[in-house]
Amino acid sequence: MTYETILTHHDGAVTLITLNRPQALNALNTTVLEELIAAFAEFERDDGQRCAVLTGSGEKAFAAGADIKEMADKPTAAFYGEDFFAGWTSRLVKAVRKPWIAAVNGFALGGGCEVAMMADFIIASDNAQFGQPEIKLGVAPGMGGSQRLTRAVGKAKAMEMCLTGRMMDAAEAERAGLVSRVVPLAELMDDAMATARTVAGMPPLAAMMSKEMVDMAFETTLDQGLLAERRMFQVLTATEDKAEGMAAFVEKRPGQWKGR
Ligand code: CO8
């Protein structure tokens, strides 16, 4: 499928999705959201695709936020009536059960930071900058900045970022736990794609359940989470991939996964 604001590419079992509005620092508008939803739905449906990477085109930005020019004259009734941007959480976070990684190259601001945080984890380039500058526009984070950022980096940093608009550089983001790793910009895509290939090479049901369980840690009590984790583990023991994985270990060979 061809899109206007994003690019998609298959590299084996990895889907690479690139936000492609470099002239607007990959700002997220309604078309981007619709196209990302379609691209992620295609990724989710395709049994041959096991992990996705989302990045931004150019070397300057992953995404500099929601498109301010699109929002500037939009009436409140339309923001509320359309439930503006609700689709990010329902269609990109909840509907995508396969793992995906954000490869953040440069600015990830406002909605850009929020979309990166929707990924299962973030790999950042050394020039990455994260921020929630919405307050400078007279608004506040609307797609998870106050919630996911706080869970990721704690109250002090999240509050300071939301109240001052201060950006966090890649080194601080790694120290604070917002990103899993920082790599030189020139190596970002090779690293992110190699990591995605590693994830794609894992038994798919175990990968999906791992994702579900880690996400559940943010939604439930420790006792309920531990119980759910134990049940998921027990369910996985019924899969052919479990039999194969343990046999492969004993026989000192790589496992061949069937996803069942
Ligand atoms: N929206 C639209 N256009 C943008 C955006 C944006 N968010 N960011 C940059 N651009 C455009 C600029 O207008 C400029 O276009 P043009 O050349 O036509 O004027 C082009 O991209 C290049 O940008 P700059 O010239 O500004 O580049 P600089 O290197 O000087 O600065 C910055 C880079 C610091 C990233 C700067 O562009 C900037 O501050 N951008 C805005 C960042 C921002 O405020 N983001 C938050 C937006 S609000 C948001 O994300 C809310 C999400 C939640 C909505 C949920 C609703 C329920």
Query: What was the pLDDT predicted at 77?
Result: 96
**pLDDT at residue 208 in the model:** 97
**Residues tagged active-site:** 66, 111, 114, 134
Q: Which two tokens stand for residue 139?
A: 């608004």
In tens digits, the chain (260 residues) has pLDDT values of: 789 999 999 999 999 999 999 999 999 999 999 999 999 999 999 999 999 999 999 989 999 999 999 999 999 999 999 999 888 888 888 899 999 999 999 999 999 999 999 999 999 999 999 999 999 999 999 999 999 999 999 999 999 999 999 999 999 999 999 999 999 999 999 999 999 999 999 999 999 999 999 999 999 999 999 999 999 999 999 999 999 999 999 999 999 999 99
Q: Measured between alpha carbons, how far is 178 from 152 in angstroms, rounded to an integer? A: 5
Residue 239 in 3-state DSSP?
A: coil
The string of pLDDT tens digits covering residues 158-191 is 999 999 999 999 999 999 999 999 999 999 999 9
**190: exposed, middle or buried (Cβ count in 10 Å: 0-12, 13-18, 19+):** exposed
Among residues 49, 39, 46, the alpha carbon closest in space to that of 8 is found at 39
pLDDT digits (tens, 9 = 90+) for 203-244: 999 999 999 999 999 999 999 999 999 999 999 999 999 999
Pocket of ligand 1 (CB under 6 A): 24-25, 27, 64-69, 84-85, 107, 109-111, 133-134, 137, 142-143
The pLDDT value recorded for residue 92 is: 86
Per the confidence metrics, is the pTM higher than 0.95? yes
Residue 14 host element (H or E): strand 14-19
8 Å CB contact between 140 and 134: yes
Q: Output the residue whose Cα is nearest ligand 1's atom 40.
A: 64
